[in-house]
Structure 1
Amino acid sequence: MDRRSLIKHAGIAGVLAAGAAPAVHAQAAIRWRMASSFPKSLDTLFGGAETFAKAVRTMSGGKFEISTHAAGELMPAFGVVDGVQQGSIEMAQTAPYYFFGKDEAFALGTAVPFGLNSRQMSAWMYEGNGLKLMREFYAKYSFINLPGGNTGAQMGGWFRKEIRSQADLKGMKFRIAGFAGKIMERMGVVPQNIPGGEIYTALEKGTIDAAEWVGPYDDLKLGFVKVAPNYYYPGFWEGSAQIDFFINQKAWDSLSAENKAILEAAAAQSHMDMQAKYDARNPVALKQLVSQGAKLRAFPQDMMNAAWKNAQAIYDETSAKNESFKKIYADMAKFRADQNLWFRFTEATFDRFMQTQKL
């Protein structure tokens, strides 16, 4: 009797008795660890890791569990890239530009001064060449990335003293990282790279004179207004700031297509969720900060002009010595030009009109 006839006439019991049923293998449970660069107190940033892990657990029916660990629990905030690269953890949640000291190209995964806004960044990543180019670069470090959030445009930071012109920056110790730090250094600033959880103490003790972090919601939680009341804008170095999940290449390759799809879907959910939370919570937090004594101030125009000029010079210099940066930045810059042409006639014009209305 052939297999088809056997199934037709014997039914499932006969099939099982005949040993003709296909083998069914239970999928083994997966347990990963994720180290974050952010403290638990920042529920928008570290919360992105928790949103991701919860979505993975739900979509896998509990068969894929990822434990989330705040900065300092498994490793230091700035140790997560080494941890993922070496395979001591399967994945990390971080802002890639923290690691631009390893290679300037890392900064392009988060934000560079006068770069893309949050919508443009997502468009470049998902519909442009951003994700492809960044993964080519990250392959050198034995991990892949999944976009996992964006803060939107950020504020310029908290200053103990008022800045009336570029000259007031000379000698200032400013918590600022990446290319922004290099630009500000040329303008007389002494840049300091300090994890978020340590900024308040440094400002309070006078170890630093100013600090940029994210925006009103997170800044309110960290209490910067108490020790440095001058709140400047815009954060021209972060027209947006993407947060990534880094996944060890071997760990990624070991996954089934189904589990890879689950991670991609969970990251996309976290990406959207983080942006939505910041957009919803920042306006309320800004009002609270002003009521607590924050003095909103725009950066002086001469400072903005000098920052733009220095940024272009640094990008040219970096591209001349770093092929990875040159390749990725050139693509991003071309994408930015097209995006800004479009936004000029649509988003920007609409926004300017709406902001002059009494709502």
Structure 2
Amino acid sequence: MWAMRRVLFALLVSVLVVGAFMPAVVEGADAPKKIVWKSSGHGPASDPSQIYHDLLCKAITEASGGRLEIKPFVGGSIVPAYKELDAVHENVLQLCYTCPMYNLDKWSAAGLISSRPGALAGEALRTWFNYGGGADLMNKMMEGYNVMTFPGALSPLPEEVFFHSKKKIESLEDLKTIKARCMGDGGEILKRMGMATVIIPGGELYEAMKRGTIDAFEYSTLASNWNMHFNEVADYVYLSPVRAPSDPQVFFVNKDAWNALPKDLQLLVQTFIDRFTQAQHEYLVYESIIALEKFKAAGNQVLKVPAEVNTALAAEAAKFYEEKIANEPPIFGEIYNSMKAFGVAYETMK
């Protein structure tokens, strides 16, 4: 908790500093018109991503002197979970914080900028998104949709837990005996490898494991998953960077709402989103180190994924994406090849 307090103190200081430069709200006919936005995260209230989303909304409201009030909502409270981007498109929400892979029903390329096999790890992913053309490519993917994003809006997050599982995974054959919640491209690839996969919102995973609906699941980072008490419903915690080397989440905004904002408020929103997404990433890296020991102390077995599973998953992923590039719209190949080229260049520094 000390680390969280330190991060929140730094964020509060940034609120006060920016707020000091904001014009005062003057009562009367010449007072700026108050703008009200609604924004939703995608997870339950206990998820750190939802917590940071809510803190961001409060910070922008305070730093703007109340000129822009952003009302925060928990995932699933305004629209069904994972439908937040649709609500932003329709202007039911003006802002949302969600995982791109939840929108594979609209764009097959959405799974590329997500927790997927072969994706860029945290630092490289955020750098590619901010400076390597990633945000522009995502906006190109969403052309014709009343939604946009911008550099700074992506929080990469640390690598995901490979699986919380009731069953031990010692070989490739073991995957075929497990029914797991696995989202996005990772779920499709594991299905090709013989695993039974299902889509379940994060807030329902605890009960799904208790009822025996599933045997295993992926969700997020060690830190997020500890706060959701997943140690109570799964004996094994499997770690590997192969399935999801990062767990990116992105802020999206309604284009009309964005264009209606005065320039100074656009700058305020973009600056605070950039600050909060980076802060969340750093916080979860730190907290995941601590959470690892908490899972062990709670009696969970923390294990590495067998090498043969990692190798087979990486090979199947490469095959999966080559097939996709040949059959999907051109933007799919543009995003995939851009990320791949950046990853190769990034690795040459090491």
TM-score tier (shorter): 0.7 to 0.9
Query: Is 1:113 aligned to 2:117, yes or no?
Result: yes
- What does residue 125 of structure 1 align with? 129
Larger mean CA deviation between 273-282 and 99-108 belongs to 99-108
Q: Give the superposition deviation at 1:311.
A: 0.4
Q: Quick check: 2:180–2:214 contact (8 Å CA) kept in 1?
A: yes
Q: Which amino acid aligns with 1:38?
A: G
Q: Which position in structure 1 is the counterpart of 2:246?
A: 240
Counterparts of 2:141 and 2:269 in 1: how far apart (Å)? 21
Q: Percent identity?
A: 26
CA distance in 2, matches of 1:181, 1:116: 18
Deviations 1:204-235 (A, max 9, x none): 11110101111222222222222211110114
Q: List aligned pairs for 1:143-158, cutoff 5 A.
A: 143-146=147-150, 147-158=153-164
Shift of 1:25: 4.4
Letter in 2 for 1:221: N
| 1:168 alignment counterpart | 174
Alpha-carbon spacing, 1:98–1:185, altered in 2? closer, same or farther (3 Å):
same
1:39 aligns with 2:44: yes
Answering whether residue 334 of structure 2 is matched by residue 327 of structure 1, we say yes
User: 1:174 touches 1:189 (CA, 8 Å); kept in 2?
Assistant: yes
Partner of residue 11, structure 1: none
Structure 1: unaligned runs, 5 residues or longer: 1-23, 346-359
Q: CA RMSD in A?
A: 1.5
After superposing the two structures, state which structure 1 stretch, 293-302 or 212-221, moved more: 212-221
- Give the match's secondary structure for 2:38: strand
Q: TM-score by structure 1 length?
A: 0.85
Question: Per-residue deviation at 1:51?
Answer: 2.6
Question: How many pairs align?
Answer: 319
1:36-185 aligned at under 5 Å gives the runs: 36-42=41-47, 44-146=48-150, 147-185=153-191
Shift of 1:55: 2.6
Bigger Cα displacement from structure 2, 247-256 vs 140-149: 140-149
| Alignment gaps of 5+ in structure 2 | 1-28
TM-score (norm 2): 0.87
4+ runs of 1 displaced by more than 4 Å? Answer: none
Instruction: Write the letter of the residue equivalent to 1:339.
Output: Y
CA positional deviation for 1:190: 1.1
1:109 alignment partner, SS class: coil
Q: 1:303 aligns with which of 304, 309, 321?
A: 309
Alpha carbons 2:183, 2:199 under 8 Å: kept: yes
CA 1:109–1:25: 2 relative to 1, 3 Å: farther
The aligned counterpart of 1:353 is: none
Aligned partner of residue 239 in structure 1, secondary structure: coil
Residues 223 and 288 of structure 2 are in contact (CA less than 8 Å); yes or no, is this contact kept in structure 1? yes
1:148 Cα deviation from its structure 2 partner = 4.4
